[in-house]
Structure 1
Amino acid sequence: MKFKVILSFLLLTTCLVAFSQEKPSGKPKQHDMTVNEKGLIKISVMYPYAEGKTFNMEYYETRHMPMMAGFIGSNLVKYTIEKGLSGRAPEDPLPFMAIGVFYVKSLSEYRAAVAPHINEILADIVKYTNATPTIFVSEVVK
């Protein structure tokens, strides 16, 4: 009897562990937003707002950023997408329509991964914006 109880417990525990693990969905991996970012390289791609400038957030979120994540590969820790709402105060002009940020382990690996695809990347930018992005590369200190 004791053996059956232990066996049942082990079977139940195994099932709970197996069914509680994340299953592959075939969708692109969502990047963990709780990652400790200290020491990572941060590539911020900022799209300035100006009269007549446009930005297609849906395309950027569903096509461009996943494409970039694919190019960057395992060097990518996570990426974020920000939609501009206002400047410093509500009446201030919007400084940026959007900002895309890549957190990577190595800047040289990032550059090596993106370089062969630069023409494809530049051709894709015009599909979602007519603004010229500003790029800021930094190291996360804290």
Structure 2
Amino acid sequence: MIKVSILYPYRENVRFDVEYYCNKHMTLAAKHFEPALKGWSVDKAISAGEPNSAPSFVAAGHFLFDSVEAFQQVFAPAAAELVADIPNYTDSTPQILISDVVVNV
């Protein structure tokens, strides 16, 4: 199982509409990624560890797939539409991390 994480870097006065991201963008992506998509989630940052400290990222979206190839097959046709939607919810420039899920409990 692999996880594709889209990380949105934090900066002072960053704009991020988590409601839009969860209810519009992520559901749109999930529809495009079916049936290869095994699950998805969203994290909204609280802090960097120290109480009241600024987080490194404002939010992250995560998608689970069986393989990198499965992700690439469903992402390629949807990429332009999903990238064009980014300004609707943030002015942060996303970073992508693809990782092997070692433990999932």
- Regarding TM over 0.5, the answer is yes
Give percent identity, aligned residues only.
36
The alignment of Structure 1 onto Structure 2 pairs a total of residues equal to 103
Q: Which runs of 5+ in 1 are unaligned?
A: 1-39
Q: Deviations over 1:61-104 (max 9, x none)?
A: 10000111111111111101111011111143211111100011
**TM superposition shift of 1:52:** 2.9
Distance 1:103 1:90 in 2: 31
Question: What amino acid sits opposite 1:43 in the alignment?
Answer: V
3-state SS, counterpart of residue 114 of structure 1: helix
RMSD (Å), alpha carbons: 1.0
Residue aligning to 2:33: 72
Q: TM-score by structure 1 length?
A: 0.69
Bigger radius of gyration, 1 or 2? 1
Residue aligning to 1:89: 50
Dislocated runs of 4+, deviation >6 Å? none
Superposed, which structure 2 residues align to 1:9-20 within 5 Å? none
Q: Which has the higher helix share?
A: 1
Q: TM-score by structure 2 length?
A: 0.92
Residue aligning to 1:135: 96
